[in-house]
């Protein structure tokens, strides 16, 4: 701890980075009944805290190492941090990025003077190529998180927080990807203010640190979610795992809807748009307050970055109301007869605002409607379900059903009487020009596609929903095809939302 404390206090980050403000969020503080402070790392020159660690590492290299240049593998903020540091110090920089990296991030790295090498469909493939180049060129590799100097650079955030708020401080919420930021912050706080709780926050589908801490050793995730791409790490660092095991008090997991809600809360508080990873800490803070029912405390959330793809804002807006527990989604079965829809809307929905309403005639026995409603809280959501049941309406709460939220709410058409022996699968494939066509080509022509839905969501991966007619004798061959495809997939044939609407 003392070694890291010294490294933090002697860091050279301010030759490139700036001291960012710790701003109170009055609206959030009022609504959450706690004093909420936001650490604005989105105001760094590259709009992310990553500049601190990257610059501190490069600035401490020897003259010989600087002469050979620096190299890194990254699809986002670390790439810009290394490129910015290299430009400031007059050093050659090479950044290996996945081919799927959005053009805006590639352009930003090139604008900082770095050479960009595009390789692979994901970070792992880019990192492997980066290591090959290190061996071939002798350039110095700048790790995004598992390096003492990088961790120390990120730890300067904690030094600023303590100077900017010397009074009461109960907890600091920190996003976790590889663990560099929280390692530096936790080590600093536990040396000087050990009573302050350090709480990490991870997405439920990129929770490598939480799982590692629970099991007592580092784990490698089979796959990671890509919505919060800035923290999409399959394996945390050896150093960062050790720091977190010693100094971090707790790790909270949040889902995509809660992340979207936090992006909106950040915008309302600061009029800035946080990237999903940048809003992680606030999402965890809100969940912590809600679960623990705490009041009157001083809580800090670190807004770690604002490199948001503009195309992703549509998706964020659509998922925000569910994340704020202000929208509920239901499948409701009503009689297929004249006046049934009118009665449903008039007598049951009443004064509630309808946010979504999808219906298509599928049979004369009953009609299945997909409806979204504005609600005040989860109690009202449960009360509406009970009200429907009391009136004789079968209903299914789809608010937490990801298939319904990602695909079915955008699909109107009803069931097909012609589809036979149909199975339903979701696929994730690299989102780059021509990717959808290549994906369809790889499916081949052995089985008939009976259903297909794809919608651009502004992420690094596309999401496709496919229905296929698979003859009884072809299941084994179909499974071999799935295993050889190389894409992440999930079967949804038994999902009740599919059975009702598709």
pLDDT in tens, 168-207: 999 999 999 999 999 999 999 999 999 999 999 999 999 9
**Residue 217 Cα to chain centre, angstroms:** 24
Active-site annotation holds for 287: no
Looking at residue 303, what is its pLDDT? Answer: 97
Distance from C-alpha of 19 to C-alpha of 14, rounded to nearest angstrom: 8
246 three-state secondary structure = helix
422-501: which CATH number, 3.40.50.1100, 1.10.260.40, 3.50.50.60, 3.40.1020.10? 3.40.1020.10
Q: Is 62 a catalytic residue?
A: no
Is pLDDT larger for residue 325 or for residue 23?
23
Structure-block tokens of residue 20: 């960012």
Of the residues 265, 304, 362, 450, only one is catalytic, namely 304
Query: For residue range 329-346, what is the model confidence (pLDDT) as tens digits?
Result: 999 888 877 777 777 777
Question: Domains of the chain: which residue ranges?
Answer: 2-49+147-321, 50-141, 325-400, 422-501
CATH for 325-400 is: 3.30.70.260
Please provide the DSSP assignment of 451-481 as one string: EEEE---SSSEEEEEEEEE--GGGHHHHHHH
Across 366-460, the runs of DSSP E, i.e. the strands, are: 367-374, 395-397, 422-430, 448-454
Question: Of the listed 11, 39, 48, 50, which one is catalytic?
Answer: 50
User: Contact at 8 Å (CB) between 463 and 405?
Assistant: no
Query: What is the predicted pLDDT for the residue at 290?
Result: 94
Instruction: Report the pLDDT value the prediction gives residue 84, as an integer from 0 to 100.
Output: 97
pLDDT of 27 higher than 80: yes
How far apart CA 347 and CA 344 sit, in angstroms, is 6
377 in helix, strand or coil? coil
Q: How many residues does the chain have?
A: 502
Place of tokens 């770095």: 114
Q: Is 451 helix (H, G, I), strand (E, B) or coil?
A: strand
For 2-49+147-321, CATH gives 3.40.50.1100
Q: What is the pLDDT of residue 189?
A: 97
The per-residue pLDDT for 427 is 87
Class for the domain spanning 50-141: alpha beta
How far, in Å, CA of 215 to CA of 467, rounded? 38
pLDDT for res 56: 98
Residue 105: predicted pLDDT? 80
What local confidence, expressed as pLDDT, does residue 182 receive?
A: 98
Q: What is the pLDDT of residues 472-493, one digit of tens each?
A: 888 888 888 888 877 888 999 9
- Please give the Cα distance from 13 to 18 (Å, whole number): 8
């Amino acid at each position: 701890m003392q070694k890291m404390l010294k490294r933090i206090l002697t860091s050279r980050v301010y030759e490139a980075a700036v001291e960012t403000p710790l701003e109170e969020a009055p609206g959030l503080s009022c609504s959450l009944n706690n004093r909420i402070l936001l650490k604005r790392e989105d105001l760094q020159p590259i709009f992310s805290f990553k500049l601190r660690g990257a610059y501190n590492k490069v600035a401490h290299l020897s003259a010989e190492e600087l002469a050979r240049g620096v190299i890194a593998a990254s699809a986002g903020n670390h790439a810009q941090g290394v490129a910015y540091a290299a430009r400031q110090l007059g050093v050659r920089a090479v950044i290996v990025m996945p081919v799927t990296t959005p053009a805006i991030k590639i352009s930003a790295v090139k604008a900082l003077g770095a050479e960009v090498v595009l390789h692979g469909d994901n970070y792992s493939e880019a990192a492997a190529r980066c290591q090959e180049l290190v061996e071939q060129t002798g350039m110095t590799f700048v790790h995004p998180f598992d390096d003492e100097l990088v961790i120390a650079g990120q730890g300067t955030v904690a030094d600023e927080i303590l100077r900017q708020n010397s009074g009461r401080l109960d907890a600091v919420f920190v996003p976790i990807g590889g663990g560099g930021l929280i390692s530096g912050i936790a080590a600093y706080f536990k040396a000087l203010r050990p009573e302050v709780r350090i709480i990490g926050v991870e997405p439920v589908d990129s929770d490598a640190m939480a799982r590692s801490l629970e099991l007592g050793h580092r784990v490698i995730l089979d796959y990671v979610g890509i919505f919060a791409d800035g923290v999409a790490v399959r394996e945390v660092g050896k150093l960062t795992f050790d720091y977190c095991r010693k100094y971090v008090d707790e790790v909270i997991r949040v889902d995509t809807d809660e992340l979207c809600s936090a992006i909106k809360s950040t915008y309302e508080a600061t009029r800035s748009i946080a990237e999903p990873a940048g809003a992680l800490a606030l999402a965890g803070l809100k969940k912590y307050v809600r679960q623990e029912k705490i009041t009157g405390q001083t809580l800090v959330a670190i807004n770690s970055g604002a490199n948001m793809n503009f195309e992703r804002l549509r998706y964020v807006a659509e998922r925000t109301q569910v994340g704020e527990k202000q929208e509920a989604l239901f499948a409701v079965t009503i009689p297929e007869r004249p006046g049934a829809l009118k009665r449903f809307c008039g007598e049951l929905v009443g004064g509630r605002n309808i946010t979504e309403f999808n219906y298509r005639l599928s049979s004369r026995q009953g009609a299945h409607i997909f409806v979204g409603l504005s609600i005040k809280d989860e109690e009202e959501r449960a009360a509406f379900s009970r009200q429907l049941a009391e009136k004789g309406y079968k209903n299914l709460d789809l608010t937490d059903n990801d298939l319904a939220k990602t695909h079915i709410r955008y699909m109107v058409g009803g069931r097909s009487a012609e589809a036979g022996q149909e199975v339903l699968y979701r696929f994730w494939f690299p989102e780059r020009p021509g990717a959808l066509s290549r994906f369809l080509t790889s499916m081949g022509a052995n089985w008939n596609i009976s259903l297909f839905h794809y919608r651009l969501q502004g992420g690094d991966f596309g999401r496709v929903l496919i229905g296929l007619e698979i003859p009884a004798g072809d299941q084994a061959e179909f499974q071999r095809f799935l295993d050889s495809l190389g894409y992440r997939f999930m079967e949804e044939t038994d999902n009740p939302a599919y059975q009702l609407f598709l």
